[in-house]
Amino acid sequence: MPTGGTMIARDLRTSMMAFGQVLRAAGLPVTVTELIDAVRALEVVDLMDRQEVFLALRACLVARHEEMPIFERCFDRFWKFRAADGQGLDGLLPAAPSAPPADEDRQGAAPGQPPAALALEGWEEENAEAGEPLEVPGLSDQELLMEQDFSSFPAEELDEVARLTALIARRLARRVSRRRRPTRRRGVLDFRRTMRANMMKGEIIELRRRERRRRKLRLVLLCDVSGSMDLYSRFLMQFLYALQNVFGKVETFTFATRLTRVTELLKSASYRVALRRLTDVRGFSGGTRIGESLQEFNRNWSHLVDRHTIVVLLSDGWDTGEPDLLAHELLTIKRRAARLIWLNPLLGNPSYEPLTRGMAVALPLIDHFAAAHNLASLRDLASHLVLR
């Protein structure tokens, strides 16, 4: 039968993996290696002392100053401390699925309950994988928002949509290459290369390290704001605003019958301020000339596109211009860019078929064609924002 220490160690691992899932869902890119380090840290601190546990986990799981508020919120929400004088820790107990309010959590433990415990708020154990899951917080109401079509959102939910949109954008920005390259000084320990380097030396005297290989990535975003996109353009511009403010290199344009660069207009403290500034942009809710707009982009802004650039075009494909012109300008972009992605809100409708003249000539020229009708479809964009 396992000893008490073994049971506590096992429960620590289980709880820490679940906590890691919460942190990643909130936007912190914690890895399994960091979670293992956190378990080891908890084994040498006083689990009865909330501050010691907090500082130990923060040291292992937080890498940047701006991540601290997120970590603190997740820590307060996930871990519940219940202690009584004179008795030790029996283990880690999962809480009931419906967690009590914060004030009730601080009351004394019920008779017969272990007097000191770290309780979970009903989170299930995650699969311990090295990759970063892309889910946003798994609460049912938020998941419903993730799947809801933009065209059906009530006005009272717009602030929550804005918050989730910003979260998705931050997660996209954090998706750097999982491959690592050798490095002399910084980086995590490369166990395999270290063992090979010291195999004939009898003891480990030379450490080998590796670091993430960050790829230089530029985004060029072209958003259709014509009349046929009215039901979606506000939400898509919200998404573009979030991308503009978290990615290092982003250029954003709107188009209807003409092209407008809005990069600087989106660099505002809040989306509402940016939205007011966008009211000065001509062409909203007008006709659509995709080919002519792309021709203007290629004529004046082609220097923004190179082999490190992913071009994302958001449009329903309803083009009143010449299809041959659209095909020619798309081909010009495709030859210069690393990838050409077309996001179409109408693709979220199961009965939709890309039969318009614009979509018919565009499909053979784009690298990825996907929906953009809800938050979940924007979240799924992550796996395609990579340089091949």
pLDDT in tens, 96-153: 333 333 333 333 334 443 322 222 222 223 333 333 434 444 445 667 778 888 877 7
Would you place residue 253 in the very low, low, confident or very high pLDDT band (cuts 50, 70, 90)? very high
Higher pLDDT, 338 or 150: 338
Residue with tokens 């989170």: 123
Identify the pLDDT of residue 337: 96
For residues 146 and 374, the answer to whether their CB atoms sit within 8 Å is yes
State the amino acid at position 102 in one-letter form: A
The pair phi, psi for residue 14, each rounded to 5°, is -60, -45
* Separation between Cα atoms, residue 164 and residue 239, nearest integer Å: 10
Identify the pLDDT of residue 210: 60
For each of the domains in the chain, give its residue range(s) and CATH number, in order of start: 4-119 (no CATH), 180-212 (no CATH), 218-384 (3.40.50.410)
Classify the phi-psi angles of 122: left when phi > 0, otherwise alpha if psi is within -120 to 50, otherwise beta: left
Identify the pLDDT of residue 345: 92
Identify the pLDDT of residue 261: 95
Identify the pLDDT of residue 366: 95
Would you place residue 212 in the very low, low, confident or very high pLDDT band (cuts 50, 70, 90)? low
The yes-or-no verdict on residue 171 having pLDDT over 70 is yes
Identify the pLDDT of residue 328: 96
Select from 174, 229, 270, 241 the least CA-distant residue to 372.
229
Q: Enter the pTM of the model.
A: 0.57
* Separation between Cα atoms, residue 61 and residue 201, nearest integer Å: 34
For the stretch 265-315, pLDDT in tens is 888 777 778 878 887 776 677 788 999 999 999 999 999 999 999 999 999
The yes-or-no verdict on residue 70 having pLDDT over 80 is yes
The yes-or-no verdict on residue 208 having pLDDT over 70 is no
Would you place residue 341 in the very low, low, confident or very high pLDDT band (cuts 50, 70, 90)? very high
Higher pLDDT, 284 or 9: 284
Classify the phi-psi angles of 128: left when phi > 0, otherwise alpha if psi is within -120 to 50, otherwise beta: beta
Give the residue-averaged pLDDT of 71-80. Answer: 84
Would you place residue 323 in the very low, low, confident or very high pLDDT band (cuts 50, 70, 90)? very high
Give the residue-averaged pLDDT of 16-35. Answer: 81
* Separation between Cα atoms, residue 130 and residue 124, nearest integer Å: 18
Give the residue-averaged pLDDT of 192-209. Answer: 60
Of 36-45, 275-284, 373-382, which gets the smallest average pLDDT?
Answer: 275-284
Of 37-51, 147-161, 194-208, 219-233, which gets the smallest average pLDDT?
Answer: 194-208
What six digits make up the tokens of 191? 């166990």
Would you place residue 333 in the very low, low, confident or very high pLDDT band (cuts 50, 70, 90)? very high
